[in-house]
Amino acid sequence: MPYNAIAMTMQSPELHLLLPFSLPAQRAANYTLPALEQGALAKFLARATLTEKSLGADFQRTLPHERWLAQRFNVIGSTSVDEAPLAPYMLLADQAQAQAETVAHTAAAALDDNPPNTIVQPDESTVWACVEPVHLQIAHDHLILIDPTHLVLAAEEAAALLKTAQPLITSLGITLVAPTPLRWYLSAPSLHGISGASPLRAAGRNIEIWLPRETRTDAPSRTWLKVQNEVQMAWFEHPINQARETRGAYTANSIWLHAQGEKRSVTRPFTSILAKTPAARGLALAAGLSAPHQIGFPPAHFNLLKPFTTAPTTRAAAAKILVELDTLSAPFLQQDWPDWAAALSALEQNWFAPALAALQNGTLRTLTLTLCGEISSITLTATRADLRKFWRRRSTVSLLEA
């Protein structure tokens, strides 16, 4: 049965779409406005009510969708300017995913020579940071962080690199937990007071100002530089990197620290969360959303949301569903505006148009979109009544980042 055919005996759900890298800068308006000013999205942007606007700054080290998630779940306060301490929640999500994969491959796990990782329960007294293998490219007189999605490191390659790096890191008195070899989590008193930058924030830029810094002095962290240098030297002639270089692939020649913080109590602003990113999924788990109808990956189409609106726990009150759709991230970071427009067109067909139709016929109670760029975010909400307000006009270009 399609989503629009859900029986109206229950309260209509509220849908919130979180859209990272959907808010381009005004300087790219010539390339992006035509895509934003078409179809259901254009109607929504014109008639919805602007409920939140967060203006960022040029050198913030976190991304607006990261800060939005942290604020929405009360991990940080509304006055926090540049915080997104999401590593403890990412650790929860990666551990849960690793456990699920182990259960699904019990026979293979029984034959594995490597013992499973110890399950860690982050708490309010321990700071965790996320660390990822990355590629630093040598420019004329500086180093540039390559977009981490371009590294395309296989799990087997990452595991071999981790095997080399782990003893070096732990010998420095640092605890290392790696539910997945593609993403590690570090904790140590020596890492307290360090501020890292989101890798997607620093991607394509000179790394000098984005390297982890001491929050007290704003100086580069010598502790982290020592860890980073140890790993870089060990990986310099690693067989994995030699093989990748031979075939013309980026080498994993460094590591990147970000999202550091301690686990804090969270609120439960949604009844279901559908996302691929470990930050959003980890926040869902921390909020106690673990049932199949409460947490999952985003479906391909709006009409496949039915299982998350008809579960017994949603009948007493309206379901509040958060869906994080991150298909715009890669072309945005590459400033490949034709590909970005194509990805937005796919969202229009699969999400915006059917969701607006559902709002129009009363199947949805409210539709909310949070559009994020590199530094800013805006949130707009529409009801069925708002769609009738044909006199409402809003310049789309006014919503773009300055």
267-292: pLDDT as tens digits: 999 999 999 999 999 999 999 999 99
pLDDT over 90 at 122, yes or no: no
CA 77 to chain centre: 19
Give percent of the chain above pLDDT 70. Answer: 92
pLDDT at 312: 52
pLDDT on residue 10? 64
For the chain, the average pLDDT equals 90
> How much is the average pLDDT of 184-211?
93
Banded pLDDT at 121 (limits 50, 70, 90) = confident
What integer pLDDT is reported at residue 8 of this predicted model?
A: 42
Q: What is the pLDDT of residues 16-75, one digit of tens each?
A: 999 999 999 899 889 999 999 989 999 999 999 999 999 888 889 999 999 999 999 999
**Alpha carbon distance 353, 45 (integer Å):** 13
CA pair distance 150, 343, nearest whole angstrom: 18
Q: pTM score, two decimals?
A: 0.91
- Greater model confidence, 32 or 7: 32
Q: What is the pLDDT of residue 397?
A: 82
User: What local confidence, expressed as pLDDT, does residue 2 receive?
Assistant: 52
| pLDDT at residue number 75 | 96
Range with the lowest mean pLDDT among 101-115, 135-149, 245-259? 101-115
pLDDT at site 58 = 86
Q: Residue 7 pLDDT > 50, yes or no?
A: no
pLDDT at 111: 44
How does 101-116 read in b/e, with b if 16+ C-beta sit within 10 Å?
A: eeeeeeeeeeeeeeee
* pLDDT in the model for residue 86: 97
Q: Is the pLDDT of residue 311 over 60?
A: no
The pLDDT value recorded for residue 316 is 58
**CA-closest candidate to residue 197, choices 281, 328, 89, 82:** 82
Which residue, among 337, 333, 308, has the nearest Cα to 321 in the 3D structure? 308
Angle at alpha carbon of residue 200, lines to 196 and 203, rounded to 5°: 95
Instruction: Please compute the mean of the pLDDT values over residues 349-373 and round it to a whole number.
Output: 96
- Any idea which of 54-63, 108-117, 209-218, 336-345 has the lowest mean pLDDT? 108-117
Q: 10 Å Cβ neighbour count for 334?
A: 15
pLDDT at position 123, please?
A: 74
Residue 249 has pLDDT above 80, yes or no: yes
Q: Would you say residue 314 has pLDDT above 90?
A: no
For the chain, percent helix, then strand, then coil, each to nearest 5?
Answer: 40, 20, 40
The pLDDT of 201-213, averaged and rounded, is: 94
Q: Lowest-confidence range among 76-85, 311-320, 328-337, 365-374?
A: 311-320
Strands (E), 98-152: 127-134, 136-138, 143-145
